[in-house]
Structure 1
């Protein structure tokens, strides 16, 4: 009898294993390659869209679009109180404990509640939000369109973050491509047909919702497999709930410190990102004829928004690079969290170091080529209407590369749950940006504002490096060298290319570094090299 009973007890365990293996994740190598390929296409489309906007709208409307788009993309993580931001860090943690479903459900509820409250405020107080976003009251229909864009962005970001945290990188890349292509086609068609600015914002909201569909399909397809993992008996024994599920209070206590630190980081970072443009609107020196007239305020609005439009044109390529850096960090974070959960701390440091190396080298070389083709782009594609943007582009390329290094570096600190140090470094950069703008902007105009932003990014980057060293990251001479490399863009693009190539060759000459690079290549190419 006992010999028959034993197989019956073992059978459920044997049958459960294939279910656990059904859930598949993209490797970091595959994820990075797919993301890079999609990003090249997507950023090319984004570049085309940015050029088209500059040609189809005057510089004042380009400045308004820059303010509206900046508000939508930067306010969303702040208004959500950092709640969805816990997904990349904690999804794998709760999945391994068999608690993924209640975790995601509670995060989704918090996201919906915060979005509803914020959008209701925008609908009830459109005049106030018009002043906050555009420095002047706008039509209620425009503010309603911005509110719809906030909703669309939140839905898109939630689906993207959840898929990324489950390491479904190919799905996230497809979402980004659909969003970029969809918005480009819709917006340019709208502007060519004579559509207005409010309709452009509505189309952005629609593109966000359409791009969410692949992510929702992937979640529906993989959800059962992702949640079917067996609960570790040790976790079940220590769980505060009889069924092994963490109570809401326990989950809040676990997530709240990280979410609060992330919220502070997003708030300060977004204020930092918008501060230079708002300082330009308020403190840009006016021409003498404006001071002699009686309509100083009206002229300040027009001149300020036009200057922001010039600044926006100079940031088209730099912001493309920065968005790629954000994608890299978004892909990297779930893998760092998985290594952290498995106690592979050395792997975390190696991944961060390799990412910093790649960002500094590739972005510096990309920035150098952008400077070389800049005169043609601004004279031909932008019809010579944005000469100030061309002059400012090297400075913007430099500080956007530094900003990307900060974004990748903060992944280490967020993985170690030391997000408060990131917020502190960003706060130091914000204060430096405000003070330096107050000093340089009235004296040197738009150039002074960009120089102030460059120096403030340096302050923020140094703060992040210090925090990383304090919390166990081995800061080496190589990291310092990579930090200084983007400055070569201000001297000569050719010098930047030569220095980047020399550093890249030194890394390829190191066997350990070369081995990690080869691992990122497709299997066929890797086999030939080996």
Structure 2
């Protein structure tokens, strides 16, 4: 009886780790993201209404630092999950991989938290250009630990293709952040209130996902033969190091404009925080596109990696081309809708407090579309294990961003900083595709066309509308954007999704026949 119970428990645990198909993953992603981002939009609007521009600017700087510090603190090891979890699973060594990588991540997390808390005055000056926020910086240190836990679990469960669990976890985090942070801000409209809400949301949602997945993780089979450390760590850390460098450059790229506003613009700290608060409101909606692209890229990587491991490199190229084209088209349509609703967004929802944010919105949109597409495109180099080279586009982007901000920021203020960032993002994205092409990816003409189209968002609604009309004609009457192969692959994905999520219709058809 005991043996039977143990067998049943083991089977139940392993069933929890059952992977999701690509079609299932896409459906779950779209459904959950729609609800989650709607909640995020509402949260961002209410924070904009209830916080002053200065407090909102301080929260933007706080959040930017946390996003920079979280992957850097763990030295990129969780970033390797998407690439190597499937490889170790196929070798029967997944348990060893998880135990060693999680121990590494835990040690790094504790060290980073203690370092920031101990050097709070130094980090306060780095983040805010002021040492008057030491207590807030100590709070940032403890919040960082919760964020590392959340990011690590997200990376692990995504790598294991448990998208239903990842979606539930991120949804819970978003809802908790909205409920807790807005409740605290309503009572005390400060940056600290938002920080506490964010940290608690990450911690609670992570613990919930861990409790759910723990039985399955415990039942992962012991490896039949041990993995020597000198065979395990060099390969993993080499990949993780360049993921770490990539994360460093990526997040530096994302915060250069705001850091230069704080430290280089010549404004007082309070004036700079106000400008960053204006910038933050222009990013409330566009950052939804970046978040979606990050989720889509993480979802796509294990599937691309599985194709790569089985020698289907041409399939990787085709799938990535199609994903970039469809994502660019969808983001362009979304951006056009945002431009149309701009007067309502800034005049009514944000009570007219952020006129400068409304001014820079078009180029913020264009830059976020390009950054989202770039984050998807870099998956090819990760599959090819060319992570060292994958940092090259980011180097170009960081260099272009700093140079353009040095030129445009003193003359045009916030508008110059936003234009510089959008232009540098385009440079980074083009460099990424060129690098992919040099290592086997066949970037087709439709993809090259779609990477330039988001520039019309920066020019306003009329050029954007004309571009959408032209693309509609190209999609319906030509193969300029989607090739015949793209159309067949897209039809297969749609058919698989319908077959998966419309069982009643399938059963009815079978009964009728």
TM-score of the superposed pair, with normalisation by structure 1? 0.87
Question: What is the CA distance between 1:502 and its match in structure 2?
Answer: 3.6
Q: Mean Cα displacement is larger for which, 334-343 or 323-332?
A: 334-343
Question: Are residues 1:497 and 2:461 paired?
Answer: no
Question: Is the contact between residue 171 and residue 214 of structure 1 (CA under 8 Å) also seen in structure 2?
Answer: no
Residue 51 of structure 1 corresponds to 45
**How far 1:163 sits from its partner (Å)?**
0.8
- Paired residue for 2:110? 116
Q: Match of 2:406?
A: 438
CA contact (8 A) 1:433 1:453 kept: yes
Query: 1:485, 1:499 within 8 Å by CA — same for their partners in 2?
Result: no
Q: 1:496 to 1:181 in 2, by over 3 A?
A: farther
Q: Distance in 2 between matches of 1:365 and 1:142?
A: 40
For residues 517 and 103 of structure 1, the distance between their equivalents in structure 2, rounded to whole angstroms, comes to 35
2:382 paired with 1:414: yes
Which residue of 483, 490, 493 corresponds with 1:517? 490
| Partners of 1:97 and 1:137 in 2: CA distance | 52
Q: Give secondary structure in 2 for the equivalent of 1:138.
A: coil
Measured in 1, the distance between the counterparts of 2:482 and 2:272 equals 50
CA distance in 2, matches of 1:195, 1:370: 27
Partner Cα separation in structure 2 for residue 93 and residue 188 of structure 1: 43
Task: Tell me, yes or no, if structure 1 residue 332 matches structure 2 residue 308.
Answer: no
Gaps of 5+ in 1: 1-15, 232-242, 287-299
Give runs of aligned pairs for residues 93-492 of structure 1, distance below 5 A. 93-194=87-188, 196-223=190-217, 227-228=220-221, 244-284=225-265, 300-491=268-459, 492=463
Cα distance in structure 1, aligned partners of 2:32 and 2:13: 31
Query: Which of 38, 42, 45 matches 2:36?
Result: 42
In structure 2, the CA distance between the partners of 1:502 and 1:317, relative to structure 1 (3 Å rule), is farther
Q: Separation in 2 of the partners of 1:360 and 1:195?
A: 37
- Relative to structure 1, is the Cα distance of residues 324 and 222 closer, same or farther in structure 2, using a 3 angstrom cutoff? same
Could you tell me how far apart the structure 1 residues matched to 2:18 and 2:402 are? 47
Give yes or no for contact 2:278–2:356 (8 Å, CA) kept in 1. Answer: yes
Cα pair 2:13 2:216 within 8 Å, conserved:
no
Tell me if structure 1 keeps the 8 A contact 2:51–2:189.
Answer: no
Partners of 2:118 and 2:185 in 1: CA distance: 29
TM-score calculated relative to the size of structure 2: 0.90
Larger Rg belongs to: 1
Q: Deviations over 1:230-271 (max 9, x none)?
A: x7xxxxxxxxxxx52211221111212211111111111111
How far apart, in 2, do the equivalents of 1:22 and 1:511 lie? 38
In structure 2, what is the Cα distance between the partners aligned to 1:361 and 1:178?
A: 29
Shift of 1:336: 1.3
1:65-123 CA-to-partner distances (Å, cap 9, x unmatched) read 00001111222111211111111110010011111111111111111111111111111
Q: CA deviation at 1:514?
A: 2.7
Contact 2:17 2:213 in 1 (8 A): no
Question: Which residue of structure 1 lines up, in the alignment, with residue 3 of structure 2?
Answer: none
Q: Considering only aligned residues, what root-mean-square deviation do their CA atoms show, in Å?
A: 2.3
The alpha carbon displacement at 1:140 in A equals: 3.4
Which structure 2 segments of 5+ residues have no match?
Answer: 1-9
Give the 3 Å change call, closer, same or farther, for CA 19–397 of structure 1 in structure 2: closer
For 1:261, what is the secondary structure of its paired residue?
A: helix
Contact 1:371 1:493 in 2 (8 A): no
Give the conservation status (yes or no) of the 8 Å contact 1:406–1:461. yes
How many Å separate the matches in 2 of 1:141 and 1:18? 46
Preserved contact between residue 359 and residue 401 of structure 1 (Cα < 8 Å): no
Displacement, 1:22?
A: 8.4
**1:141 Cα shift?**
2.6
Q: 1:217 to 1:283 in 2, by over 3 A?
A: same
Cα deviation, 1:16-53, whole Å, max 9, x if unaligned, reads: 99998885210111101111111111111111111111
Displacement of 1:202 after TM fit? 1.8
Cα distance between partner residues in 1 of 2:355 and 2:26: 36
Q: Would you say the 8 A contact 1:148–1:202 is kept in 2?
A: no
d(CA) in 1 for partners of 2:226, 2:395: 38
Relative distance call for 1:270 and 1:99 in structure 2 (3 A) is: same
CA distance in 2 between partners of 1:366 and 1:468 (Å): 27
Aligned equivalents of 1:502 and 1:77: distance in 2?
43
Measure the CA separation in 2 of the matches of 1:496 and 1:281: 37
**Matched residue count:** 488
Secondary structure in structure 2 of the residue aligned to 1:26 = coil
Structure 2 counterpart SS, 1:522: helix
Give the whole-Å Cα distance in 1 for the aligned partners of 2:431 and 2:133. Answer: 42
Measure, in 2, the Cα distance between the counterparts of 1:141 and 1:525.
53
Cα distance in 2 between the residues matched to 1:21 and 1:206: 30
